[in-house]
Homo-oligomer: A and B are copies of this chain.
Amino acid sequence: MHRFAGIYTPLATPFADDGSLDVGALSRNVEKYLRSPLTGLVVLGSNGEAPQLDDEEAERVVSTVRACMPQGRPMLVGTGRESTRATIAATRRAASAGADAVLVRTPSFFKAQMTGDLLERHYRDVADAATVPVLLYNVTMFTGVTLPADSVARLAEHPNIVGMKESGSDIAHIADCIARTPADFIMLAGSATTYLHALCAGCDGGVLALASLFPDACVRLRALVAAGSIDEARQLQRQLTPIARSIGGTHGVAGLKAALDLAGFAGGSPRPPLRPASSTVVDVIRRQLEDLGALATAASPTTTTDRI
């Protein structure tokens, strides 16, 4: 199996009260995840509020995480930008700072022009210039752009494009991409509400914000599918779905950060214009975590070993 196959969590980016980067809090989160069975970490993804960081902050995030991580644990870094040249520059900076691979979201501002052909050229130019492996990253809910399966099939032939993260929940599209790419092309699921289904479709793992809270459960769900224990896997997915929704589409980064705070990680406020979750939302998330036995308590501080 490819060395990048597995379960990852995207790292949230903690900010200090003055709105600046809190690298100490970031390090503490990373240390906890390193004690979990997660395959590796994703830095500067959407959940890391990458579009809200400037280039200098982005570099500090990458170097902070790298400093914590042993070499055997893959660190994937998000480097997608609107222009090909800026994407290449960000990819080079990430590689210099120790990225094991880069995750390149589709450019998306000029949506109507983002045809398959144009996106293929973009990815080939980036992959040619990159000194580390490239993973495609399709996240239609944020970009309004979809990388067609035809293009994925052609890009998978590039020696430096090793896989893809598909954040959507369109299982037919995921299955199509898998059917049309070689067995060693890695497909990582990005939607925790359809994680079971993406695994049944043949995904090699996932990049899940849910794994920031429930790393063990996310790893276990994959093992259940591999063992053909579909009923048990479905039961576990069903338990995880409400909190997956809260920290995904429904409340986004604010939901994730509130859940991290409740579960004993460093979450904090997202950067404006994003706003912290309201107290009503925090209460809902608290109950969802309680249902799963995942609240941090003074007596029993949360480890990364979740109990479900």
Contact = CB atoms under 8 A, between A and B. Distances in A.
Given A141-B112, A234-B201, A85 B51 contact: no
How many of these chains are in the complex?
A: 4
A213 interface: no
Contacts of A170: 169
A70 interface: no
B121 A275 contact: yes
B237 A274 contact: no
A interface majority secondary structure:
helix
B237 A110 contact: no
Contact of A114 (B227, B250, B273): B273
A197 interface: yes
Interface string A1-20: 00000000000000000010
A280 to B, nearest CB: 14
Contacts of A249: 112
A274 B110 contact: yes
Interface string A111-124: 11110001101100
Contacts of A241: 172, 175-176, 179
Interface in A93-138: 107, 109-114, 118-119, 121-122, 125
Interface residues of A, number: 60
Contacts of A215: none
A254 interface: yes
Given A118-B273, A142-B109, A175 B238 contact: yes
A271 B125 CA distance: 13
A67 interface: no
A39 to B, nearest CB: 21
7 contacts: A110-B253, A112-B252, A122-B272, A144-B144, A175-B237, A179-B238, A228-B228
Q: What are the 9 tightest A-B residue pairs by CB atom distance, in nearest-first order?
A: A228-B228, A122-B273, A84-B272, A52-B83, A51-B82, A51-B109, A200-B200, A144-B144, A171-B197
